[in-house]
Amino acid sequence: MDNNLTVLYEDNQIIVVVKPQNVPTQADSSGDKDLLTMIKEYVKEKYDKPGEVYIGLVHRLDRPTGGVMVFARTSKAAARLQEQMKTGFFEKKYLAVTVGVPRDRQGRLSQYLVKDEKNNMVRVVPAAVEGAKKAELEYKVLEIAGSVALVDIRLITGRSHQARVQMQSLGTPIFGDAKYGGDKLAKGHNLALWAYELRFYHPVNKNPFVFKVFPPTDEVPWNVFPIESHIKVARPSI
């Protein structure tokens, strides 16, 4: 199965994988191979499934962002996981390296965002702007190295480009983010935003799951921080 897919866990209801950076979550206009298709091909081949394989998209990561994701293998599992997202039982945490250090070492951002579909850009706007959606996150600076900072981010909502735009609003864009001003020190490097932790309840047996995955610690700028001292990675209890 030559599709570069890292599977962390799978059963007959869900599959948890690591999304590679610069791979779209689902098919887009680029025509590039997407993660959803990779998972369908993996399941079809491994289990010798005839016909179309069902894989339900539960949540998304921006194309340049990598990290842990869960997909549903049944429509029932998809509906139950999506309900957890609405009720707050589905939690996503990210690591980011910012260009500059946030003035407040930790905080909660509550803003309104609107997306320009023509140029695929998101910006912070007043609440009264048509189409504006509330975006909330919590962040904490874990470590500072010169002019960059390692930041833990917990998304409370799940808006397009949310972490990237909200960190930019503090004057500290994410390293490698050419779209939102974080590429001044980072020409040629990947976006330093990684979905490192995912928490949810199994959609059928209700067991609590926690998955944690390191970012690529050998790459710039992750390699300037002792990531292992900030994240403890262990296999989930099943």
Catalytic residues: 62
Does residue 20 have a cis bond before it (omega within 30 degrees)? Answer: no
CB contact at 8 A, 95 and 153: yes
Q: Which residues pair with 137 in a beta bridge?
A: 109, 155
Integer Cα distance of 98 and 177 in angstroms: 10
Tokens read off for 137: 């996150």
Would you report the helix, strand and coil content of the chain in percent, each value rounded to 5?
15, 35, 50
The CA-based angle 171-137-109, given to 5 degrees, is 50
Integer Cα distance of 72 and 65 in angstroms: 20
Distance of CA 94 to the CA centre of its chain: 7
CB contact at 8 A, 139 and 104: no
Q: Is 31 left (phi over 0), alpha (psi -120 to 50) or beta?
A: left
112, burial (CB in 10 Å: exposed 0-12, middle 13-18, buried 19+):
middle
- The type of residue at 72 is A
CB contact at 8 A, 18 and 68: yes
